[in-house]
Chain A
C-alpha cells in the first residue's frame, strides 16, 4: 500500500548503503523516533515507563544473544552468567572506585566479553549439544564463583547496592530520566547490530551458521569469528547486566540465574532467530507476558484461586506458557514473530491489487 520499491533510484554509494533505503522506512523510523523521544515518556505514567525500561534492557540482551545464536549458529545457555559478570564488574567499579557510568558500563561489557570468549573457546572443538552443555557449565561455574568469592559479591547470598548513574552532575532519579538513558543505549545497540550483521564480520558469522565447512574453505577463520561472536554477544550481555543493575539499584547473583538465560533464549526464538526486529519483538513479548499474566490473574484469578494460591500460580503459569511458546514457535513457526510480521507486510505490499 505505502511500501513501494519502484521509483527509488540510488544515485550514490551512500544511498545504496543506507540502512533504510526506502522513503517509507525512513518515515516510519522518524515516526518511531518522535514517538519514543517526545511522546512515550511524557504520556505514560511512572509505572508504565518502568515497564518500558525493562523492555529496553531486554532488547539489548536479546540482540546480543541473537548475534550468537541467530546469526552465528552457536548456542549459549550461559548468557545469564555473562550478564552477572557485567553487573558485578560495574557494581564493584562504582562502589569501590566511584566510577561514573561511562567507565563502569563499557568495563562491565568488556569483562563479560572476555569471560564470554573464554567460555566460547570450546566452540572450536565442539558444537551443538556439546557447546550447549559447555555453556551450561560456564553458567553454573560463573554463578558459583560470583556467589562464593566474597571479593566480587561481598559475601555469599549478599548483594551490592549501586547508585543510579549521574550525568553532568545530575543523578537520574525518576523512571522517565532513566528511560532516556536506556533509550540512548538501545538505539545505539540496534543500529550497531544492524550494521554489524551486514558488514564483513556479520557475513562471516552467517557463513559459519549456514555451512561451517564451506565457510572455512572460502577463507573465513572460523576460530577467530566464533570467538568474536561470543565476545560481541557477551559484550551486549554484560551491558544488559550493567543496565539492569542501574535500573534495580542492586547487583545480586540471583537476578542472573539460569532461568534468565532461558528467558533470553525464549525471546529470540519467539521473536525470530537471525533478525534484529525479531529480537525486539521477542524482548517486548517475553517481558510483557508475565506482567500481562499477573495483571490478568490479579483481576480474574480471584474467581478460581485463593490469594494464597495466586502467589504460586502466577510464576508457574508464566514458566509453563514460556515452555509451550518456545515449543510451539519452534515446531510451527521457526522464524518467529518476525516472520509473522513479514507475512503481514508482504500481504499489504500489493494491496489491494495482490493476486
Chain B
C-alpha cells in the first residue's frame, strides 16, 4: 500500500465514528441493565429489532407518522421490559449467572420468531423525516441518517451521564449496582430500580430500533446488530456509560477500516469479524474493559 489513500481513510474514519456512536446507543441498553441488576442481556439485538418492528408496524399498519410511531415503540418497549423483568428475570435472581444468560438467549430466540410471525418476514422501511442527500464536509461525505443517529446517541449518552451523576434516582441506581444489600438497608426499593433499569434499556432499544431500522430497514437481520454489542461493552467495560461510547467508537472505526482495507484481500466479511478478534485480545488482557470496575477473582 504505497499510495495510501488518505481521503478514503478519512471517509472510513468519520463513517466509523458515526456508526460507532450508534453502536454506543445500543450498548448503552446493555450497560444500564448490567450496571443496575448484574443481569446480562444476550437479547439486546432482538430488543432493538423488536423496537424497530413495532415502529415499522405502527407506520405500516396504522399509518401513523414517524413521531407517533417512535412514541409507540418507546411505550411498548417500556411495557415489554417491565413485564419481562417481572415474569422472567425476577424469579432468576440468585440463580447462577449461566441461567440468566440462557434465559436471555431464549428470549432472543422468542423475539426473533415472534416478530416476523406477527408482522411478516419482509423488510419494513421506517422513513425518518430527513433527506437522503449526503452532507459534504470538506472531502468527507456523510449520510444524514447517520448524523441523526449519532446525534440521538450523543443526546442520550449525555442524558444518562447526567442521570447517573446528579439525579436522585440515578444515585439510587448506582447504590443498587454497588451493593444490593446495603442499598436495601438504606431504604432503596431495589426491585423498583431493577424494573426501572429494564425500562430504561427498553427506551434505549426502541430508539436504537428506530435509528438502525431507518438506516438498514426492519427485518429479522436487524437483530444481528446486537452481535456488535459484545465487543463494544467488553472493550469499554461492562458497567461504564463512558466505556460504551469509547468502545462503540473503537468498534465502529475498526470494522469500517477492516471492511475498507482488508475486505479486498480476504473476500469480504471482515466487518463482522475484526471487532471480535479485537475483543478476544481485550478479554485476555483486560477482561473488565477500559473503564469497567475491576473485580479481582483468582480462581
Near B by CB (< 8 A), chain A positions 64-92 give 69, 73, 75, 77
Do B112 and A312 have beta carbons less than 8 Å apart? no
Bound CA span A326–B113, Å: 14
Q: Which residue of B lies closest to A124 (CB)?
A: B299
Interface centre among B40, B113, B269 (most CB of A within 10 A): B113
Say whether B117 faces chain A, with CB atoms less than 8 Å apart: yes
B168 lies within 8 A of chain A by Cβ: no
* Stretch in A14-22, A48-56, A139-147 with 4+ CB within 8 Å of B: A139-147
Q: Which of A9-51 contact B (CB under 8 A)?
A: none
- Given A130-B287, A133-B230, A141-B276, residue A319 in contact with residue B113 (CB < 8 A): yes
Tell yes or no: B267 within 8 A of A by CB.
yes
**What is the minimal beta-carbon distance from B290 to any residue of chain A, in angstroms?**
15
- The answer to whether residues A132 and B110 also contact, given A141-B273, A147-B269 and a CB cut-off of 8 A, is no
A128 and B273: CB pair below 8 A?
no
Q: Tell me which of A228-236, A327-335, A345-353 binds B.
A: A327-335
What is the number of residues of chain B that contact chain A, defined by CB distance less than 8 Å?
Answer: 46
Check A318–B113 contact: CB distance below 8 A: yes
* Complex Cα spacing A269 to B279, Å: 28
The CA of A260 and the CA of B116, in the complex, are separated in Å by: 20
Q: Residues 115-157 of chain B: 1 if any A CB is under 8 Å from the residue's CB, otherwise 0? A: 0110011000000000000000000000000000000000000
Q: Is the C-beta of B186 less than 8 angstroms from some C-beta in chain A?
A: no
Please name the residue on chain B nearest to A329 by beta carbon. B106
CB-CB < 8 A to A130: which residues of B? Answer: 234, 283, 287
Check A265 for interface membership: any CB of B closer than 8 A. Answer: yes
Is B75 an interface residue, CB under 8 A from the partner?
no
Task: Give A318 to B269 CA distance when docked, in angstroms.
Answer: 29
Once bound together, how far apart are the Cα atoms of A192 and B110, in whole Å?
34
* B108 in contact (CB, < 8 A): yes
Assembly CA distance A318 to B110 (angstroms)? 9
The reply to whether the CB of A302 lies closer than 8 angstroms to some CB of chain B is no
Cβ B276 vs Cβ A216 within 8 A = no
Contact mask for chain B residues 79-105; partner A; CB cutoff 8 A; 1 contact, 0 none: 000000001100110011111011101
Inside 8 A of A69's CB, which chain B residues have their CB?
98
Interface residues of A in 277-332 (CB under 8 A from B): 312-313, 315-327, 330-331
CB pair A73–B98 under 8 Å, yes or no, is yes
Cβ of A140 and Cβ of B280 under 8 Å apart?
A: no
Cβ–Cβ < 8 Å partners of A316 in chain B: 112-114, 116-117, 121
Q: Once the chains bind, are A222 and B117 in contact (CB under 8 Å)?
A: no
Interface set, chain A 138-173, CB cutoff 8 A to B = 140-141, 144, 147-148, 156
> B266 touching A129 by the CB < 8 A rule?
no
Cα(A130)–Cα(B40), bound, Å: 10
Decide: A212 near B287, CB < 8 A? Known: A262-B109, A322-B109, A331-B103: no
Docked pose: A262 CA to B102 CA in angstroms: 9
**Cβ contact of B106, chosen from A128, A147, A327, A334, cutoff 8 A:** A327
Tell me the residues in window 230-269 of chain A with beta carbons closer than 8 Å to chain B beta carbons: 259, 262, 265-266, 269
Provide the residues of chain A in CB contact with B227, threshold 8 Å: 136, 140
A320-B109, A326-B102 in contact; A313/B117 too (CB < 8 A)?
yes
Report how far A134 CA is from B96 CA in the complex, Å.
18
Chain B residues near A148: list those with CB within 8 A: 266-269
| Best-buried of B88, B105, B117, B284 by chain A (most CB within 10 Å) | B105
- Cβ of A126 under 8 Å from chain B: yes
A331 touches B113 (CB 8 A): no
Rounded to whole angstroms, the CA-CA distance of A320 and B121 in the bound complex is: 14
Minimum CB distance partner of B97 in chain A: A128
> Which B residue sits closest to A321, measured CB to CB?
B113
Which residue in A73, A216, A259, A323 is a CB contact (below 8 Å) of B299?
A216
* Docked pose: A144 CA to B247 CA in angstroms: 23
- CB-nearest residue of chain B to A309: B120
Chain A, Cβ-Cβ closest to B115: A316
Q: Given contacts A137-B276, A148-B269, are A323 and B106 in contact (CB under 8 A)?
A: yes
Taking CB atoms, residues of chain B closer than 8 Å to A96 are none
Which residue in B95, B106, B272, B299 is a CB contact (below 8 Å) of A144?
B272
- On whether the beta carbons of B280 and A137 are closer than 8 Å, the reply is yes
Please tell me which one of the listed residues A140, A147, A213, A317 contacts residue B113 in the complex, with CB atoms under 8 A apart.
Answer: A317
Task: Give every chain A residue within 8 A of B103 (Cβ-Cβ).
Answer: 326-327, 330-331
Q: Is B42 an interface residue (CB 8 A)?
A: yes
Give A268's nearest chain B residue, CB to CB.
B102
Contact in complex: A326, B109 (CB < 8 Å): yes
Q: How far is the CA of A136 from the CA of B113 in the complex (A)?
A: 21
Residues of B within 8 A of A330 (CB): 92, 99, 102-103, 106
A125 contacts partner chain B, Cβ-Cβ < 8 Å: yes
Cβ-based interface call for B207 (8 A) = no
Residue contact B273 to A322, C-beta cutoff 8 Å: no
Asked if B106 contacts A266 (CB within 8 A), the reply is yes
B30 to chain A, nearest CB (A): 11
What residues of B have a CB within 8 angstroms of the CB of A106 in the complex? Answer: none
Specify which of A126, A132, A156, A319 is in contact with B287 (CB 8 Å cutoff): A126
What chain B residues lie within 8 Å of A322 (beta carbons)? Answer: 106, 109-110, 113
Bound state CA distance, A315 and B220, in angstroms? 13
Q: Are A75 and B101 in contact (CB under 8 A)?
A: yes
Q: A125-B284, A134-B283, A315-B113 are in contact. List 20 more A-B contacts (CB 8 A).
A: A69-B98, A77-B105, A122-B283, A128-B96, A130-B283, A132-B40, A137-B230, A137-B276, A148-B267, A259-B109, A262-B109, A313-B117, A320-B110, A322-B110, A322-B113, A323-B109, A323-B110, A323-B111, A327-B107, A331-B91
11 A–B pairs (Cβ distance < 8 Å), ordered by A: A125-B283, A132-B42, A132-B101, A156-B268, A316-B113, A319-B113, A320-B113, A321-B113, A323-B106, A330-B92, A331-B92
- A residues contacting B by CB (< 8 A) are 69, 73, 75, 77, 122, 125-126, 128-130, 132-134, 136-137, 140-141, 144, 147-148, 156, 212-213, 216, 222, 259, 262, 265-266, 269, 312-313, 315-327, 330-331, 334
